[in-house]
Amino acid sequence: MPLSSILQSRPESPFAGLWGLPTSSVNWCESDYTITFYIAEFFNSCSSLCMVSFGLLGQWSLSYLPKNVNATPRPRRKDPEIYDPLQEHPRLVGVDRIWLTWFALQIVGWGSVAFHGSLQWWSQAFDEVPMVWTAILHLSTGLVGRYDPFPLATSSTSTSSTSDTEEKGFVESYLVPSLRRSSTGEPYTPIMSTTFLAHAVTCSLLVTLFRGPSQFLVFHILFGSVELAGFFLTYTISKEAADPSHPRGIGYIKGCHSDAVYKSLLQRHQKDVGTLHRRGLWFYCIAIGIWSTDLNFCEYISRIPFIYPSLSMKGLEWVYTTFNPQGHAWWHLLVSIGFYHLGVLVTYDRMLAGYRTFWQGVDKKEPGCLELLKEEKVKGRLVGKKGDVPVIEWLYGWIPVVAMWRPHK
């Protein structure tokens, strides 16, 4: 395959390859069927696997949740087995919802592979509908974590036969949760979940029913509204972390450690949250800028002059052609990196909210929280303490994951 076939500009009349002429509402700047007869946009399709890869990375990162990153110093000795109430019941801190968000990102990637590989209207829906659901899962994970960290047991339940209160056990409270309630007495989580579900279904129907430019516009308005809300959520998390006295921070562990240890954990909390937010936002903004430029200035981008040496039967000669930097392919990579950072930020905030609420519930003697600390549940293991706190760990200095920081036992 000559290099010029990769570098040439996008033709005005796309060649009909395996999938025929494009029927999608948008055709990106990459030349159609330039590399192979079987894939409409080769680079855009292959780069979509970045989203699949980062979705898998997100799921793998959840394996770090129970790990203690405050490793025992040398000489190493075996750490005692810890009973962590929330690690024993991961659904209480929304691990299943977080896992589902990373899985949805993988579906987005495969949908994008199909879309750019065929440029058909049905494959475009396969790309865009999962994008809406992924953004809603990401947003709802953060909001539920802030308003309903997990279903704390209600302290009482009323019956028609008596005015006395009857304490409910953890299982009953979890199956029929009494969550944080609104001013009208309704639990927040069902309200939020129903609202998000209705929005997702509406977007899915409109994206699949509309055709042409109107479909492209409707999708980006509906998807963009959720995306902007997600940006505002991560901005709120970052801003709150900058305030040491904010009730959603790590102030609840202040009395559990010495002043030096608490100050170190607080600085780590503020630094890591700020780094995650800045990196995620910068990658996202650069990706959006490249996406917009590639979409709106394709005519000029594909005419960028490029000269390269080529060896032929006549000897070494210079070939003059045009260069397409494949901006949409770079968008796939950069937006995947940005979403991963912001996703880890929301995961961290969700975990921190769960631990904070649990130990506050223990202090208030909430029946559901105390139920988790019963001796038969511990089974001889060392019980986790209030000073155990979720932290951000940077693998190889670049890959953020959420783990636990526990004092040496």
Q: Give the whole-angstrom CA distance, residue 108 versus residue 110.
A: 6
Annotated binding residue 328:
yes
More confident residue, 53 or 3: 53
The answer, yes or no, to whether residue 171 has pLDDT greater than 70, is no
Which tokens hold the place of 182? Answer: 């609104």
Annotated binding residue 28:
yes
Q: What is the CATH number of domain 41-157+165-294+329-405?
A: 1.20.1070
The answer, yes or no, to whether residue 181 has pLDDT greater than 70, is no
Binning pLDDT at 50, 70 and 90, where does residue 70 land? confident
Q: Phi, psi at residue 269, to the nearest 5°? A: -60, -50
**pLDDT tens digits, residue range 329-352?**
999 999 999 999 999 999 999 999
Annotated binding residue 299:
no
Q: Give the whole-angstrom CA distance, residue 346 versus residue 234.
A: 7
One-character DSSP codes across 186-233? -BHHHHHHHHHHHHHHHHHHHHHH--HHHHHHHHHHHHHHHHHHHHHH
Q: Give the whole-angstrom CA distance, residue 40 versus residue 31.
A: 8
Give the pLDDT of residue 35.
86
Single-letter code of the amino acid located at 397? G
Give the pLDDT of residue 371.
82
220 to each of 200, 280, 397, how far by Cα in Å?
A: 13, 20, 35
CB atoms within 10 A of CB 373: 14
Annotated binding residue 332:
yes
Give the pLDDT of residue 338.
95
pTM here is 0.83
Beta partners for 405? 389
Q: Span 143-156, mean pLDDT?
A: 57
Q: Which of 61-75, 116-130, 180-194, 353-367 has the lowest mean pLDDT?
A: 180-194
Helix, strand, or coil (residue 150):
coil
Whether residue 42 contacts residue 140, with contact meaning beta carbons closer than 8 Å, is answered with: no
